[in-house]
Amino acid sequence: MAKRPDIVMFMTDNQPAELLGCYGNDEVLTPHIDALADDSFVFDNAFCVNGMCSPCRASVMTGLMPSQHGIHTWIDDRLRDRWPEGWSPLAQFATLPAILARHGYATALIGKYHMGAPDHPQIGFQHWVTNPHGHVTDFWNGTYIENGETRHYDGHSVDYYTDKAIEYIESAPAARPFFAFIPYNAPYGHWPALKGRARNRFRDLYDSMDMHSIPREGLHENAIARFLRKVSDSVGGVDHSSELRCPNDLETLRNYFSEMTMVDDGVGRVLDALGRLHRLDDTLIIYTTDHGFSLGHHGIWGHSQATLPAHAHRESFSIPLILRHGDRFQTRREAHHVSQIDLFATILELAGIDPDGHNADSPARSFAPVLTGGAPATGDEVFLEQEETRAIRTPRWLYKHRFPLAPQPPYADELYDLRTDPGERNDLAGDPVHDGVRKMLRQRIERFFGTYSDPRYDLWQGGAPQSSSDKPWLWKEAWGDDWSAPFQRD
Question: Tens digit of pLDDT for each residue in 415-446?
Answer: 999 999 999 999 999 999 999 999 999 999 99
> Quick one: which of 19, 37, 38 has its CA closest to 28?
19
Four-residue CA torsion sign, 369, 370, 374, 377 = positive
pLDDT for residue 490: 66
Report field, pTM of the whole predicted structure over 0.85 = yes
* Inter-CA distances, 370 with 220, 280, 374, 378, 464, Å: 39, 22, 4, 12, 37
Yes or no: say if 300 and 311 are a contact pair by the CB < 8 Å rule.
Answer: yes
| H or E, element range at 442 | helix 435-451
* Per-residue pLDDT tens over the stretch 204-253: 999 999 999 999 999 999 999 999 988 888 755 567 788 899 999 999 99
| H or E, element range at 284 | strand 283-289
- What CATH architecture does domain 6-381 belong to? 3-Layer(aba) Sandwich (3.40)
Q: What are phi and psi of 344, to 5 degrees?
A: -60, -55
* Per-residue pLDDT tens over the stretch 192-213: 999 999 999 999 999 999 999 9
> Quick one: which of 95, 128, 134 has its CA closest to 341?
95
Calpha distance 489→144 (Å, rounded)? 25
Yes or no: say if 46 and 336 are a contact pair by the CB < 8 Å rule.
Answer: no
The number of helix segments (H) and strand segments (E) in the chain equals 13, 17
Domain ranges of the chain: 6-381
* Per-residue pLDDT tens over the stretch 123-149: 899 999 999 988 899 999 999 999 999
The secondary structure of residue 368, as a DSSP letter, is H
Q: What angle do CA 126, 14, 332 make, to 5 degrees?
A: 85
Yes or no: say if 307 and 364 are a contact pair by the CB < 8 Å rule.
Answer: no
Amino acid letter for position 21: G
Average confidence (pLDDT) over 100-124? 91
Q: Are strands 338-339 and 41-47 parallel, antiparallel or unpaired?
A: parallel
Q: How many CA atoms lie within 13 A of 402 on its CB side?
A: 18
| β-bridge mates for residue 180, sequence order | 8, 108
* Per-residue pLDDT tens over the stretch 406-415: 887 789 999 9
Mean pLDDT value across the chain: 95
Estimate the crossing angle of helix 157-171 against helix 250-276, to 10 degrees.
10
* Per-residue pLDDT tens over the stretch 480-489: 999 999 998 7
| pLDDT tops 90 at residue 452 | yes
